[in-house]
Amino acid sequence: MNDLSALLKGNPYPGRGIVLGRSEDGKSAVIAYFIMGRSENSRNRVFVETEDGIRTEAYDPAKMTDPSLIIYHPVRRVADEEGVTTIVTNGDQTDTIRDFMLEGESYVAALNTREFEPDAPNYTPRISGILYPCGSYVLSILKSLEGDPGCCVRNYFTFDAPKAGLGHFIHTYEEDGNPLPSFRGEPRPVSVTGNLDEFTERVWESLNENNKVSLFTSFVNLETGEAQSRIVNKHQ
């Protein structure tokens, strides 16, 4: 198991990242999603709460140059007879997964209609997480084959019964670079410690000061389904 803070402090630009897991006391499912940016356009964002999750928004609309890949709903919640499923992604595939789920289709079918972002030469991976009411979860990544846009690599990782204090972390970029190298391997197992506020502060303070933009965290009570969430924006 890796120390999440150490992983974040050791990587100045992991890009966008998702952590799904179980709280230290085992009572809650845990979610974290953060965005980072190197350009003025990417850094000009905040998270705002919506009825079913969160969305990104321009902090200064006058400075927004291209909203196509940076304005989206990172988090959406879908309710059914089983409870509430939470979808977390780094792009508008959040809506694709939600729409397929509402039609009774699988997340795999949804993501098979999508691929990495068309932002050559980086071809930013699309990372997605799905947290089910029981606490099990899925993480996925759609990425180019070593920078070749002619081939999309689709990886899906399912975690049925995570242990207390354990999470899994996936992010878009393996490290900083030009072009940016895509994440490699399986989601990293990481320790999840503290309550919601402590966890939120630890993640936020571990992100690179120059590149971090926004963070969303949530603890979902596995018995009641009640979710408590936090949003941290650098521009607030």
In DSSP notation, 96-125 reads HHHHHHHTT--HHHHHTT--S-S-TTT---
Q: What's this model's pTM, rounded to 2 decimal places? A: 0.96
pLDDT digits (tens, 9 = 90+) for 75-104: 999 998 889 999 999 999 999 999 999 999
> What pLDDT is stored for residue 25 in this prediction?
96
Is the confidence at residue 176, as pLDDT, over 90?
yes
The pLDDT confidence band at residue 191, using thresholds 50, 70 and 90, is very high
Residues contacting 191, CB < 8 A, separation 6+: 1, 2, 3, 4, 165, 166, 167
> What pLDDT is stored for residue 69 in this prediction?
80
In angstroms, rounded to a whole number, what is the distance separating the alpha carbons of residues 42 and 122?
Answer: 15
> What pLDDT is stored for residue 11 in this prediction?
96
